[in-house]
Amino acid sequence: VSCVHPISHEEVILMPKVGLVGPYSPAMKEAFYDSLPQDYEAVEVTATDDYKNLADVDYIINRTLPIDETLLSICPKLKFIAKYAVGFDNIDVAAAAQRNIPVTNCKGFNSDSVAELTVALMIDSCRNLYPMYLGLREDNWMQDKFVNTSLTLRGQTVGIIGLGSVGSRVAKLLNAFGSKVVYYDVVRRSEQEENELNVSFLELNDLLAVSDIVTLHCPGSAKNEHLINRETLALMKPTAILINCSRGSVVDEEALYEALSARKLDRAALDVFETEPPVGSELLALPNVIASPHVGGTTRGLGAGMIRLCMQFILDFAGHKPIPVQNVVNYTILNDPAILEVME
């Protein structure tokens, strides 16, 4: 008599499960569900209080909520985390690596968007557009008021801190304006790359001292926390402009407020803040500050595209297909990097 082992109901319906973690717009969600295979399930979590619902997920797409050891410990099946963004400072990538969980980001996907906003903020700051607009709203025709403080990008020395995908695009745009571009990065580019981008390398302190405009494009890592502080601000020209489209944690906002208030720094343009949203921020009350609500990487269609990219990384991982190594942020510290295929 032959016996057939019965298949349990659980085994029949068990499907890979993806946790969609964080707030997403309707368009982003539509793109997510359009790219989710029919044999996959989804779990939406919009608050940390609901993390218990992620206990049996295989994959996570994360936007802004924190992912740390506490969450990882309740997700024994978790195999892969795709970050919907370039920055990944809200994810404990080392803790994920200890569990051999790759973490990817969308590096390069929104670089043009961020770079263009960076240059827009430079132009706005250089030409005093916002204070003139406020004047016009009050019927104040300030045609001559800002003549002596209005600048062109041509001829300005612009210091780029962080010459990654965004910083490189900013450099190319600034070349078209006729700026002199210098940069600092923990990894110096090759002579060929520097020539192609028409940039010169300087150590950080030297860059701060010579730059008319300093623009930040470095990760919001623990190493970069308050990279711009009282000491580094003191190295900058009192006529200089600071642009931050990277992460709020890179700048000590208290020190920046002091420098701007005392006119030890002329102006600042910010797309990011230490606390977001920056409710009650003293910086926003200053006349020499312009700001936007962390929109550098958000332009029409880009959000949906990033969701699709995150889902593609998950499917590539599940199907043992290669993922660009530049997008695997903890590849070098995984317990077993052979767990995934990568390509240069």
Enumerate the active-site residues: 247, 276, 294
Could you identify the residue written with the tokens 């926003």? Answer: 284
Rounded-to-integer distance, Cα 203 and Cα 252, Å: 20
The answer to whether residues 181 and 197 touch, using CB atoms and an 8 Å cutoff, is yes
Helix axes 111-126, 129-137, angle to 10 degrees: 60
Could you give the residue ranges of the DSSP H alpha helices within 106-164?
Answer: 111-126, 129-137
Rounded-to-integer distance, Cα 95 and Cα 128, Å: 45
Rounded-to-integer distance, Cα 293 and Cα 278, Å: 9
The answer to whether residues 244 and 250 touch, using CB atoms and an 8 Å cutoff, is yes
Residue 298, Cβ neighbours under 10 Å: how many? 15
Rounded-to-integer distance, Cα 94 and Cα 71, Å: 14
